[in-house]
Structure 1
């Protein structure tokens, strides 16, 4: 489990809801979505248009667990051919990595979301990185690829100056401890989201969106799609419909740009806090006592929520995530970091503490469950 995964987990836990009380899950009547699909009026819903997975383009914690071009090509082959996805999110840092991943995905006929995630740097650098990524997205779009540009992810955590803290982890801690001013943070967030949207529009002519945490207040008039990173759990599926229906009020396509759960009993109830099953204060991090690995739980949760998104006729659902290379599966439970991973596949290292260049992955039960769902719901327009 990388520090980045820790932060993603904390964000998914609903930190954004501390700002966005207006979308805190209170049920409202669903509003018909205008333009979510051309020609929808008068016919039955078709379910999701895009079904896919998130693919990370980052440095790793070791020389062999970061983004690799050869691995990326092999992984995307599995995404397209074995997972039966028709879409992929290339997210992370490094414009060259993002562009290469997007190009490979497009070459395989996949719809592509490009999402830069440069964090903890001055605003100007973050916006420059966005602009460079947007130019690559526009180049692909002009060549005929199906491309969306997401201007970023959960800025309240990753952009300095909105919430006190030198990095995303400190910002999470300050928010949970109440050491921040929500109204002031909202004004700063609004300002930066608008800057990011303006930057994206300047370089990219295709559909634009932003990966918001569930509950964030966002001016969705700035974007073409409403996108939410969503990790809630309900025993009754109607709870998901209640929480997500308010997003329809903007009259735009609604996309679940992140969803998923970890690989242990009780993980869905933990939501985005699955990372907390590993005690990182130990000299060698350990999975906490009593946590029991369960690939079945992860697979069942994903099947349930994907079924809900289909019935709601949402625009897209993207599973977080394909693989977490720095969270290997091990036979000894306390060091089986894949337990706390959202990945659909489990990394297997050749040695206990060093992945070496020859590490590989194997599909988990969730991979097969998602593949069955995606294959069963394909329709000709997006195959």
Structure 2
């Protein structure tokens, strides 16, 4: 079986990356603010109503993937999907199933901890495979990478993603945006040589991307206590590039206070040593927190004319839910469905409250 790289749950840019983003006050959005946002919803907003679907998992069975994607289209009412992964075969198997359901298929090509040269080679592989599908199903696009300053070698000093994240705000990393913007045109050129569909890039909010060569602006934009007061302005400013805007990742985990921690909400929740993994004291499961957080962000995206939103993430079979709060790893998951330890045998999952919130909003 294809080796499974580091799960995306452990790969969200950590504290040092967040420190590179300008922090602001922590005022909570009031009901009046949310109501005003709802009143300002722009026609045509959220043309792409989507979810991330991570193909990096221990258990990969097409019957399970087919069931998931049918639910994403028919029950969650998505019209788009963002497929994440490093294995071309898995990505294209999922892409064909999603295309068969009529979804707009976005493929995020990502092989973490690779050189720029290998990253370009992988984009060629993905582009060729995606183009074959696009000729039969025109609604196919590619994201040429994810937060490359951290997850690719060569832009920021560091032996791995953790070191690069820690170095982002240090003088040794000065010029990383210039290096990123020197690489991205190569990524676009490489992909366009073999692929005729639309292109975006899933950027980190600390990255200042030159979007000239892209069709769509893409940002992984989590809201937390640091940027809560400026979040709407951040979303609005994305339109300054004159292109459609996708929020390629958003959401939060499933416990009280997770809405204040955004993308880094998984950190420090689970104690994995000694096994089995246990929830640390002080973390209490609360699905309502996640559901309300996602609903508030969708209000903002609609009001600000965002063209596409992809909640992170659909499922994480490697962080199972249990009725015993001490061992409920799912509370540290951003996913909108919960799976149990029998997933490998059954493929079953249960919707969280956030699933139903999305289904109502996307319908």
What band does the TM-score fall into relative to the shorter chain?
Answer: 0.7 to 0.9
Q: Could you tell me which of 163, 167, 176 is aligned with 1:174?
A: 167
CA-to-aligned-CA distance 1:201-248 (integer Å, 9 cap, x gap): 211111111000113111100201001001113799874321211111
Q: Could you tell me which of 317, 336, 344 is aligned with 1:344?
A: 336
C-alpha spacing 1:46/1:194, structure 2 compared with 1 (3 Å)? closer
Q: Does 1:154 align with 2:142?
A: no
Whole-Å separation in 1 of the counterparts to 2:24 and 2:88: 36
Alignment of 1:106-145 (within 5 A): 106-145=99-138
Q: What is the number of equivalent residue pairs in this alignment? A: 343
C-alpha spacing 1:236/1:204, structure 2 compared with 1 (3 Å)? closer
1:53 is matched with: 51
1:165 is matched with: 158
Whole-Å separation in 1 of the counterparts to 2:358 and 2:126: 29
- The SS at the match of 1:10 is coil
2:12 is matched with: 9
TM-score by length of 1: 0.83
Q: Could you tell me which of 178, 189, 208 is aligned with 1:217?
A: 208
Would you say the 8 A contact 1:16–1:213 is kept in 2? no
- The SS at the match of 1:368 is helix
Whole-Å separation in 2 of the counterparts to 1:166 and 1:119: 12
TM-score by length of 2: 0.87
C-alpha spacing 1:14/1:320, structure 2 compared with 1 (3 Å)? farther
- The SS at the match of 2:158 is coil
- Give 1:278 shift: 2.3
Gaps of 5+ in 1: 27-42, 376-383
Alignment of 1:191-210 (within 5 A): 191-210=182-201
Whole-Å separation in 2 of the counterparts to 1:237 and 1:279: 25
Alignment of 1:292-371 (within 5 A): 292-350=284-342, 356-371=344-359
- Give 1:70 shift: 1.7
C-alpha spacing 1:190/1:127, structure 2 compared with 1 (3 Å)? same
1:76 is matched with: 69
- Give 1:151 shift: 0.4
Would you say the 8 A contact 1:8–1:272 is kept in 2? no
Would you say the 8 A contact 1:17–1:214 is kept in 2? no
2:35 is matched with: none
Whole-Å separation in 1 of the counterparts to 2:94 and 2:185: 27
CA-to-aligned-CA distance 1:174-222 (integer Å, 9 cap, x gap): 336x3x5232323322222222112122111111110001131111002
Whole-Å separation in 2 of the counterparts to 1:344 and 1:281: 23
- Give 1:6 shift: 4.1
- Give 1:280 shift: 4.2
Would you say the 8 A contact 1:349–1:360 is kept in 2? no
